[in-house]
Amino acid sequence: MKQLQKFVKLCLGSAMALSMTACSSGSSSAAASTTQTETVDAQKEYGCNAINVYNAGEYIDTAVLSAFEKQYNARVNYDTFDSNETMYTKLLGGSSYDVIVPSDYMIERMISEDMLQPLNQDQQTNEADYDPAVLKMRDAYDKDGKYSVPYFWGSVGLVYDKTVVSEDDIKNEGWNILKDTKYKGNIYYYDSQRDGFMVAFKALGYSMNTENEDEIQAAYKWLREMNDTMEPAYVTDEVIDGMVNGNKGIAIMYSGDAAYVLSQNENMAWVEPEQGTNIWSDSMVIPKNASCAGLANEFINYMASYDVQLANTTAVGYTSVRSDVEKEMTAKDGDYYENDAYTVREDGKNDEVFHYNEKLTKALSDLWNKVKVQ
């Protein structure tokens, strides 16, 4: 028993030592990636020196956090969530965060429920360099950007194996290739009611935000037929690994994940069907109950800067919201040169932003469960 106690103590001690060395090594690598800027003392400037940040998992190059801490002599408590809905529940539970990064529809909902505070626009200096298309789509959920600064953006499309699927088929049929029995048993279908129904609505030429009962039933019928004839595999994030290994011919994917797949497997190609798709963005916002809003505004502006956006998009593979970073990444020596999935379509006339609609979400979620019943 004594030995066991000693052993546990030893483990604890070494864990502590490790975490300390981890801190110092993390910050040194980040220092190299950011330009030398003079340090600011957060305590003096904003009256507080710690912020709580809540972001989606695997969505950052963590080195940028250490660099921020150094520059502002502050501490960043960084937490991650697995879905917008988890994040929302945590906020309702009274957790106080200073910066969170939800998706467009969730921001729309939070604005309507008065959960966010307006940003201090004087502290936001990076918007001039943003891709105009990103700022334009922001108006759909946050008019004039009063509450949010975009973080990443992208679309939903099809990744396909050029050696298995004919390019003509996919260009001609668009989303309807998911019902082409030539590829039976060879498709990954994204297992979420939002993206699942979006594909059906677009394939039928409707709006993805429709409330028309007939259109919803038609989409349900489309999905039912797809389910009954195609033997689809319903997946979420396993699809990334599956497509890198070429396990199936066609998959519905987010553009950022697709960019990664394309960079790993040269047989894979990307298409955003002409029938239209969902253009989305995840943006940084400050909740009403933030305890350090001044530093939070500064953090948002920092996350929008050139160096940080470059580090994050390199690490994660999702498309940067800054034009200059996008240009750098797709240039001849960039990481995503000639990678179709990295560049988000800007002129698709059927492309839409998803809007929050509680009733519709509920109805579609019930139908979606019925679709997957064999």
Q: Which is nearer to other proteins, 200 or 296 (CB)?
A: 296
Kindly indicate which of the ranges 61-69, 203-211, 214-222, 296-304 contains the residues binding other proteins, using the contact rule CB under 8 A.
Answer: 61-69
Distance CA(10)–CA(254), nearest Å, equals 45
- The verdict on 373 binding other proteins (CB under 8 A) reads no
- The verdict on 368 binding other proteins (CB under 8 A) reads no
Q: Which is nearer to other proteins, 89 or 229 (CB)?
A: 89
Q: Which is nearer to other proteins, 50 or 133 (CB)?
A: 50
- The verdict on 54 binding other proteins (CB under 8 A) reads yes
- The verdict on 66 binding other proteins (CB under 8 A) reads yes
Q: How is residue 229 written in tokens?
A: 């004839």
Q: Which is nearer to other proteins, 223 or 240 (CB)?
A: 240
Q: Which of 40, 244, 360, 363 binds other proteins (CB under 8 A)?
A: 244
Helix, strand, coil distribution of the chain in percent, nearest 5: 50, 15, 35
- The verdict on 3 binding other proteins (CB under 8 A) reads yes
Kindly indicate which of the ranges 60-68, 102-110, 178-186, 217-225 contains the residues binding other proteins, using the contact rule CB under 8 A.
Answer: 60-68
Q: How far is the CB of 15 from other proteins (least distance, A)?
A: 6
* Residue 142: exposure state from Cβ atoms within 10 A (0-12, 13-18, ≥19): buried
Q: Which of 37, 39, 86, 369 binds other proteins (CB under 8 A)?
A: 86
Q: Which of 43, 49, 73, 80 binds other proteins (CB under 8 A)?
A: 80
Distance CA(23)–CA(27), nearest Å, equals 7
Contact 289, 281 (CB under 8 A): no
HEC letters along 203-243: HCCCCCCCCCHHHHHHHHHHHHHHHHHHCCEEECCHHHHHH
Distance CA(1)–CA(230), nearest Å, equals 60
- The verdict on 15 binding other proteins (CB under 8 A) reads yes
Residue 140's contacts (CB-CB under 8 Å, 6 or more residues apart) are 104, 353, 355
- The verdict on 354 binding other proteins (CB under 8 A) reads no
Q: How far is the CB of 46 from other proteins (least distance, A)?
A: 17
E strand segments, 118-207: 149-161, 187-190
- The verdict on 10 binding other proteins (CB under 8 A) reads no
Tell me which residues in 160-189 interact with other proteins (CB under 8 A).
Answer: none
The count of other CB atoms within 10 Å of the CB of residue 307 is 16
For CA atoms 256, 260, 263, 269, give the dihedral sign: negative
Q: Which of 32, 35, 44, 93 binds other proteins (CB under 8 A)?
A: 93
- The verdict on 8 binding other proteins (CB under 8 A) reads yes
Distance CA(356)–CA(142), nearest Å, equals 12
Q: How far is the CB of 275 from other proteins (least distance, A)?
A: 27
250-254 and 286-287: which strand pairing? unpaired
Summarize as ranges the residues that interact with other proteins (CB under 8 A). Answer: 1, 3-4, 7-8, 11-12, 15-16, 18-19, 22-23, 25-26, 52, 54, 56-58, 62, 65-66, 77-82, 86, 93-97, 237, 240-242, 244-245, 257, 264, 316
